[in-house]
Structure 1
Amino acid sequence: MAIVLPYFLAGLLLGCLLVGLAAARVLRRWHQAAADLESQLRSHSFELQIALDELTEANRQLEIQTQIDALSGVYNRAYFDRQLTAELKRSRREQRTVALVLLDIDHFKQINDNHGHLVGDQAIKQVAQLIRQHVKRPADKVFRYGGEEFALILPNTSLAGAVQLAERIRQQLTATCINTADDTLTLSLSAGCYAAIPAKDSDNDEFIAFADKALYRAKAAGRDQVHSYPAPVAAVAVAAAAVTGEINEH
């Protein structure tokens, strides 16, 4: 028995060593597999992040497209409604004046009837571009309100300031020839302005109705002019511009 014991112990140690080596080999494989899996996960996570970034950008572009009028390149009517609601809430909260301007190209139906709808479309594009050139503050926004009509939302702007801006646009358009594929047109526009600190019950309809009343007055008075609601502001602002020879920035 004493003779066998050393062999037994040696065999036991050898067996333990072999088992340990096998276990170490398995453990190394597990570590390698875990490292490979971690690497794959990192790779997939990176690819997933790229996909998410691309999806976010695609959604942003889609959102922008849903806000923009395809013909004129300015914001569309649906975005106008949302933006006016947001600005009224912000102005009410901050107790600041917000102005709304409605601008309508005069006798636009005659352009379509006499020159065709393609020429009418070109006129809308160029008028939109001209209006955008005068709207310089980041918070101010230009919208195609419908057909040949445009709208401006001007946060933190007085009624006199809105009238002055509309008058600058009107004067510039009157002095500008609109080049189309077949002809050169001289256009004019009428504008209606309204501005106030929104009351608790003020809404989009109220601001639009008052600006529209001013626009109707401008058309009824012969077109190619700017009116406001209340009416006296337009006369005062335009008269001041005539005296100074220029319209100041609002």
Structure 2
Amino acid sequence: MSRLSAEFTDRTIEAHFSHHLLPQTKIQLRTTLLFCAAVYLVFAITDILALGLTPVALALFGCRIAVAVVALASCVTNHLHPHSVGRVYLTASITEIVGMLAFAPIVLARPDELPWHSMSMGLMVLVVYLYIPNRLVYALAIGVISTLVFIVMALLVGELSGKEQLTMVMLLSLANCFGYIAARRYSLIRREEFRVQSVLKNLSERDPLTGCHNRRYLQQELLNMELSRARRFRLSLAVVACDIDYFKSVNDTYGHAAGDRVLVEFAALLRGMIRENVDSLIRFGGEEFLLVLPETDLAGAMHLAERMRAALSAAVTEIAPGKTVGVTASFGVTSVNFASVVARFPQEAVIELADQLLYAAKHDGRNTVKALEFYGRPGLHVAARAAG
């Protein structure tokens, strides 16, 4: 993580983190902005007490109204764009800047109350760092620049003694330092929690040997998600079951370490032939793997399975220096086209058909591909399979 910004140096990971916290961030931002806007308006009472019902007091009230309007507009904007992280940070920064700018005429109109203004400035700086959710670098820039501008104004219009001026500068500097340190620590803690949660989630969803998704992830999340998406948009979805032929003999002949090496190489071969971030590879159990291929019809899935079968037949795995072993695999392929299939069916039915086709390939001599369309009704695909 970056030491200055307290963000992940990998922008992809940082983007995942920001989107993960986006709902919580939006709620926090809305609550904080509305509360700060209300406080800003309530403190108009002090303008009236200090200046009376004068045009200047009314002008200051207009500045306070402007802050409230910007805060409200920021909340509405974020509500209308629920998935935009950048817009959240932009609206937070704009509201902070407008709030700081609106504070300047208050200071100029009431120069005799500079110690109180200094206290208010320190509180506003802490709010920028700690309470309004924003990127730390943006909060740092807004806090430091606003503080410098306020100090210059105080030195120009105020009548503080040298000691009072030094005290004011030191207190505002401490407010920025403590605010930055606390905000940085908070940002690092949240990202460390996210990193740990991601590691634990990955461990629960991945096979430790091959790095593929595991059966639990397939059954609890992946397959239902892909079937729902395909059904919603009336797309095809293919499932390919594949199993290494005579894998037990590899373990018996060369040992389990060699068998593990074969599994890893087989998984790497399959992973290298599917679409990254589109298709999914699952270790279904033992030497059996499953591929979930969105937007893929039966012909496309058959073609991919045949390419995989041929590539594995031509490959060898080095299990020890100077010692290699070659294996083959059998494939069962099915696909469901939701443009024509409207009936509801259990998600396990698709896997079951692919698995049955896999074992049909095993029965017919292994190192082959068997394929059949899934029609959504068990009676139809069973009859078609029997006819084939």
TM exceeds 0.5? yes
- The answer for the alignment partner of 1:237 in structure 2 is none
- The answer for the alignment partner of 2:36 in structure 1 is none
Select the residue among 143, 163, 177 that pairs with 1:39. 177
Deviation at 1:28, TM superposition (A): 8.2
Give runs of aligned pairs for residues 119-198 of structure 1, distance below 5 A.
Answer: 119-181=258-320, 183-198=323-338
Query: In percent, how many aligned pairs have the same letter?
Result: 32
Within the alignment, does 1:213 sit opposite 2:356 as a pair? Answer: yes
Q: Is the 2:335–2:373 contact (alpha carbons within 8 Å) kept by the matching residues of 1?
A: no
Deviation at 1:201, TM superposition (A): 1.8
Give runs of aligned pairs for residues 234-249 of structure 1, distance below 5 A.
Answer: none
Deviation at 1:203, TM superposition (A): 3.0
Q: Which has the higher contact order (CA 8 A, sep 6+)?
A: 1
After superposition, the C-alpha distances for 1:154-191 in whole angstroms (9 at most, x for unaligned) are 00000111111011000011111121116311101000
Within the alignment, does 1:102 sit opposite 2:245 as a pair? Answer: no
After superposition, the C-alpha distances for 1:52-75 in whole angstroms (9 at most, x for unaligned) are 123223322332333221111222
C-alpha RMSD of matched pairs (Å) = 2.5
Higher helix share: 2
Find the aligned partners of 2:363 and 2:292 in 1 and give their Cα distance: 24
Find the aligned partners of 1:213 and 1:94 in 2 and give their Cα distance: 28
- The answer for the alignment partner of 1:56 in structure 2 is 194
Moved more, 103-112 or 202-211: 202-211
Q: Is the 1:213–1:229 contact (alpha carbons within 8 Å) kept by the matching residues of 2?
A: no
Within the alignment, does 1:113 sit opposite 2:113 as a pair? Answer: no
Give runs of aligned pairs for residues 64-103 of structure 1, distance below 5 A.
Answer: 64-81=202-219, 82-103=221-242
Find the aligned partners of 2:170 and 2:365 in 1 and give their Cα distance: 85
Q: TM-score, with normalisation over the residues of structure 1?
A: 0.75
The unaligned stretches of length 5 or more in structure 2 are 1-158, 375-388
Q: Is the 1:85–1:203 contact (alpha carbons within 8 Å) kept by the matching residues of 2?
A: no
Q: Secondary structure of 1:180's partner?
A: strand
Moved more, 64-73 or 92-101: 64-73
Q: Is the 1:92–1:200 contact (alpha carbons within 8 Å) kept by the matching residues of 2?
A: no
Q: TM-score, with normalisation over the residues of structure 2?
A: 0.50
AA at the equivalent of 1:107:
Y
Moved more, 64-73 or 117-126: 64-73
Q: Is the 2:239–2:335 contact (alpha carbons within 8 Å) kept by the matching residues of 1?
A: yes
The unaligned stretches of length 5 or more in structure 1 are 1-20, 232-250
Find the aligned partners of 1:165 and 1:195 in 2 and give their Cα distance: 13
Q: Is the 2:309–2:330 contact (alpha carbons within 8 Å) kept by the matching residues of 1?
A: yes
Moved more, 95-104 or 45-54: 45-54
Give runs of aligned pairs for residues 218-237 of structure 1, distance below 5 A.
Answer: 218-230=361-373
Find the aligned partners of 2:238 and 2:373 in 1 and give their Cα distance: 13
AA at the equivalent of 2:197:
N
After superposition, the C-alpha distances for 1:60-109 in whole angstroms (9 at most, x for unaligned) are 23323332211112222222222111100100101001000000000111
Change (3 A) 1:179 1:35: closer
Q: Is the 1:144–1:150 contact (alpha carbons within 8 Å) kept by the matching residues of 2?
A: yes
- The answer for the alignment partner of 1:247 in structure 2 is none
